[in-house]
């Protein structure tokens, strides 16, 4: 299991377009990928647009992303790069 801590960089947060892109990238991997706000207790499925958008992650929200499975390293690397690129915004 791998964990990644990121902060939502873009002004509009994890709204429809970046959430869709995030889910699209997460869905490319076989491993289970979960996401939550740092202060929340429960993780949600990072491969579901509805649960990702329901997080309500605005700009500067700290997130925890967990990948667990055969391709977890590649998944974390891909997601880390996506956030480094400001969620393509």
Stretch (H or E) spanning 16: helix 16-26
CA end-to-end span of the chain, whole Å?
A: 29
| Whether residue 2 lies in the annotated active site | no
> Could you say which of 15, 20, 37, 80 is catalytic?
15
Cβ atoms of 42 and 36 within 8 Å: the answer is: yes
Structure tokens at 12: 């509009």
- Which residues on neighbouring strands pair with residue 45, listed in sequence order? 34
**Active centre residues (catalytic):** 15
């Amino acid at each position: 299991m791998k964990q990644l801590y990121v902060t939502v960089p873009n002004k509009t947060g994890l709204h429809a377009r970046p959430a869709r892109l995030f889910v699209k990238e997460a869905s490319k991997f076989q491993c289970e990928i979960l996401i939550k706000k740092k202060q929340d207790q429960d993780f949600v499925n990072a491969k579901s647009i509805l649960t990702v958008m329901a997080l309500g992650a605005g700009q500067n929200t700290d997130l925890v992303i967990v990948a667990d499975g055969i391709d977890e390293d590649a998944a974390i690397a891909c997601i880390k790069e996506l956030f480094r690129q400001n969620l393509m915004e």
